[in-house]
Amino acid sequence: MPTQFRKRGIVVDAGGRPVAGALIAVVHGTAAVPEIGIRADDQGTFYLSLPAGSFTVEGHSPDGARGRIDIDVTDSSSEEPLTLRLSR
């Protein structure tokens, strides 16, 4: 099994406020990801365990806003937090 890197992220709305309960999913990647979808907590924080590679992460808020971010995961990038901004 490849080494997994734990990535911390936060889901925010267009104004930069945390989005509680947003659904987060890896929709494309260069390696398989075990998680189908996860929910952000009450502060909009989420965690993903990903192997090294390139991934597209998508978020959907309970009120229908959407956002997407492309990330490259390497050993040196594991401490950098992700910001996933949602808009309508």
Distance CA 84, CA 14 (A): 10
Residue 13 CB neighbours (<10 A): 18
Residue 44 identity:
G
Q: Which residue has the higher pLDDT, 50 or 36?
A: 50
Q: C-alpha distances in angstroms, 47 versus 5, 88?
A: 10, 24
CB 51 within 8 A of CB 73: yes
pLDDT digit string, tens, across residues 40-85: 999 999 999 999 999 999 999 999 999 999 999 987 666 778 999 9
Q: C-alpha distances in angstroms, 43 versus 47, 52, 58, 70, 72?
A: 12, 27, 18, 22, 24
Task: Kindly report the CATH number that applies to the domain delimited by 4-85.
Answer: 2.60.40.1120
